[in-house]
Structure 1
Amino acid sequence: MGTAAKYKVILVDDEPIILRSLQAAIGWEELGLTVVGTARNGESALKLIGEHSPDMVISDIRMPGMDGIALMKEVLSGNPKRIFIVISGYGEFEYAREALRQGAFDYLLKPIDHEELTGMLQRAAAQLDARAENERLLHSVKALSVMARERMFSEWIEGNDRPLGHMQWMENSELEQDYVMAVVQLDRFLRLNEQWLPDEKRLWLFAVRNILEEWSLQHGALTVFPFHSGEWIVVFAADGGTDHVRLGNDLILQINKYAKLSCSVGISRVFKGIGQLSAAYRSATQALYQRFYSEREGVFAEREEQPNEARPTDLKYPKQVESDLLESARTLDLQRMEAAFDDLKLYIERHAAAKETAERLLVEIAVVLYRQLEYANLLADWPLDGLLQALHEAENLQEAISLLKNAAARQMEESRRSQAKEDGRSLIEKAKLYIMNHYHKDLGIEEVAEVVDLSISHFCTLFKQVSGYTFLEYLTECRMEKAKYILKNTGVKVYQIASMVGYQDPKYFTQVFKKTTGRTPSEYREESSYLV
C-alpha cells in the first residue's frame, strides 16, 4: 500500500479515550487511509458522513441515542458499497452478529487489539481497491462497447457489409424493424472550423453530442453517434405514428438553445435491416441537398419516389448565361449583369442540383468572368481566391449568387469611376495593377506604358512622381514580395519559384533576392520556419 491516502475514514465512539487511542495507535497513512473526522454519537456521525462522504466508518455498537446498528443501516442505505466496521464488548456479541447480518464488513471486540484492527483495515482497503478496479474495468468495457457499436454502424454506412467480423456478438436486432435515419449537420461548419481553436472545437462538438444523446434518450432513438466532423446520425424506429419532421425541428431548437449553434436535419425514407444503413445515409444526405435552396436552417425529408415521377435532368453548362455575363462585363452594364445572375439562379433551381454540382458551376462562371475583366484590364480589387472560398462556404444558393453579384458589381463600378477620371494618379494605379497581375511574365516598360496609353518617357517620369519608385524598382518589389510569400508558405523549390515570379535564370533571381532582402531564398525560408 502506498503512503498517499486514498480512502477516508470516520471514527465513532462515545468514549473520547478510545477515539484518541485509535487515531494515535494505527498507522493510517501507511495503510493508505486518512481519518477525516470523529464523532461521539450517531447523530453527529451522520452529519460528518454527509459532509465528508467517507469510504469507511468504524463505530461502537453501544452509544447513547442512535446506536451503532441504527447508524450502520442509515449509512449503508445511502451507499451500500461503504465499509462499516463495528466495535463491541464481550457481552454484546449478539449485537455484533446482527451487525454482520445487516451488512457490516467485520466486528472488533473490546479491548481493541491494534494489530488485529490493522489487519482488518488492510483487508477493507484491499476490498475498496478491488471495487475501484472493477468499476474502472466496467466503465472501460462499456466505453469500448459504445465505440465498437458506433464503429460498426459507421462501417455499414460507408458500404462495408462485413464490418468488424470479430464483433458479431454485438446486438443489432433493433435495426431489423423499420427505421428512419436523421443526419444532423452544423450549418456553416467550414467557417466555424476555421474560427475555432482545437480545444474549442473539441468542446463544442462534445457539447452537441451530449445534447443529442440526452435528447435521443428522451425521444426513444435507437442509436446516436457522430459520423463526420460536424455531422451526427440519429436512428429512429419507423412506427408510423411518429412525426419525424417535428422531432427534427425540436432537435434544431435544442441545439440552438443550449449550444447556440445552427444546424439542419436530413430525414431518410423508411429502411429495414442493418445492411440498409448505407442506403439510409444516402437518402438522408440527399434530403439535405434541399438546404442549399433554403435561406435558413430546417428539416428536409426525402420523399418516397412515385412510379413515374420525373427526375431532374443533368446540369449542363449554361452558355447563354455566360455570354450575357461576359457582354455585361465588357460594356459595364450592371443591370444586365444582375439579370444574368438571376437567370443563372433560376436555371440551377430548376434542375435541383446538389450543392457540390451547383458550386462547381458557380466557380466556373466566376473564373470566366474574372478572366474577361482581367483581359479588358478592368480588374480593380478582385481577390479571386477569397471569392472561391466564400462560394465553397456559402450555405445556400441565394448567398452564393449574392457573393458573385456583389463582387462583379464592385469591379464594374470601379471601372466606371476609373474611366470617368483618367488623371495621372489613376493612370499609374492602373499601371501598378497591371504589373501586379503580370509580374510573373517577361514584363517590359514598353508594354505597361502602352496599357495606359503614354509614351515611355512620360510614363517613366509620371510613375516615379506618383509611386516614388522607378518602374524596375516597383516590378522587382512586387516579384520579391510574391517570392517571400511562396518561400514562407510552401515547399516549392527555389529554382521553380524563379520562373513563377518572372525570372528565367534561377541564379539571377537568387542574386536579386539577396540584394533586396540581405538573405538568400534558402536562408529566408529557414528563418521564416523558425518564426512559425
Structure 2
Amino acid sequence: MIRVLIVDDEKIVRKGLVSFMPWQDFGMVVAGEANNGENALQFMESNRVDLLLTDLSMPVMSGIELMREVRQRHPHIQIVVLTLHQDFEYVQEALRLGAIDYIAKTQLEKEQFEDVLSRIASLMVMKDSLNGPPIQQYEIGRVDELFVLYALHQQSDDLKSAISLPKEAVEADVGVWYWTDMMSNAVAPNPNYALICFKDLKDMDRKSLLRLLRVYRKNDLFYDYDPSLPIQFVNSRIILSRGNDEMGYEMNTVKQRWLSSEWILDDQIFEHMIQELRLMKLQPIRLTRIFFSLTDEWNRLYYQILSNPIVVEDFFSSWVQFEAWLRASRETIRQANSKPQYSIEIQNSITKAMNLAQQMMDQPVSAGEMAKMVNMSSSYFSQCFKQIAGQNYTDYIRYIRMERAKEYLKNTTKTIQWIAEQVGYNDEKYFSRLFRDQVGVLPSDYRQKK
C-alpha cells in the first residue's frame, strides 16, 4: 500500500484532495497531512511515507526547501509537486530535486483525478523498476485465483505483525494482503482474519483487482464470512457484476418491525425477519447503529421485566456474530416476558400496547383507549398489563415519559415547555412537579447536573 502525505498551507485544498481523489483505486492511502514543510518533516520522522504531494509556496518552509530536506533525510520517498506556479524555473527546480510529476492546481478538475493518480502510479512503478524491486509482485491477468487475507479489525495500521504471512504476500490496502501460491505457505486460522480465495481472475487488470478486493470488503465480507471455515471461495465475476450500491430500504419501516413483539413470540416470523434483514446487506456500521438504537428502545419497553438490560456489542466482525447476539437478545426478552398463565395472543397484545405507548407518548391515551387499540376489554387489559409489564398502565406511562424527558434534557437545548409537550404534558409547571416527584429534582436542575 502506497502511503501518501499531503502538504499544503490551504486546509480546503488538503481536505479536498483527501476526500475526492480515488486513492484506493490505485493502491494508495492518505497517511497524513501537514500545513507547512516543518510539520511535514516531523510527521515523516515517526510515520512511514512513500509519496509526498506538496505545494511549493508555503509559510515557515517552502515546498522547494522541503524537497531538499526530504532528498537528504528520506531518499526513498517519491515526490509530486502541486502548485499554482506556472513558471518554467519552478518546474525545472522541482524536477531537478527529484519530483516525478508536476501538477498545476488550476488544471486539476474532478474529472481528471483518476487520470492524475493513474499517471502518478505509473511513474512510481517506473522509477521503482530502475531503483529496486517493483511494487507490484505478480503479473495480474495471468493468474486464475488469488488468496486474500482480510483483517476483520482495522483499528491499527500495523496489523501484519500480528499474523504470519507468506513471504510473497502483497499489501493491497490497509489490513488486506494477497498472494498466489497457497500450498507453499498456509496461514494458520485466526479469528481476527478472514482468508478468501477469489476464483476466475483470468484477464483481470490490476485496477479491476483492487476494485474487486475493495467492493468485496465493503459489501460482502461481513455477510459471507463464516469463522468455522478455514478458507472461503468466491467467484470474482459475480461480485463485480453486483455493483456496490446498498439497496434503498426505508429504515423507519425496518425499525418499526423490530420494535413490534411479533418476532419475540413467533418463531416463524422471527426466522423470516432475520433472513430478510440479511438479504438487505446493510453496511455493517449502519446495521450496528440501527440496533444500538433498537436496543435502547427494547430496554425502555421491557425495563420492568428484564433483570439486566440488553447490551449491544460495539463491533460485529461478521453476520454470524451479529445473528448469534440477536438470537441471544431475543431469548432473553422472551424468557423475561414469558407468562405461562396467559396465551401468546394476550402477551402479544400487551407487548403491542407497550410499543404503542412509546410511539404515542405525546398523546393522552387512557388505559381504556389503549385496550380498544389492542382488542381487549378495559378491565382485563388492566389486569394483564400489570402482570406482564410489572406495573399498572398509568405508572408505566409516567415512567416512560420521564425517561424520555431525561433524554431530551441531557441531549438537547430545547425549552422545558417544549419537552413537556413532547412527553404528553401541556402544562410546564405540572410536568415539572411530576418530574421532581419521579426523579427527585426539577427538570432545570437535572439538566444542569447532567
Q: Please give the TM-score of this superposition, normalised by the length of structure 1.
A: 0.40
Q: Which of 1 and 2 has greater Rg?
A: 1
Greater per-residue helix proportion: 1
Higher relative contact order (CA 8 A, sep 6+): 2
Report the TM-score when normalising by structure 2: 0.46
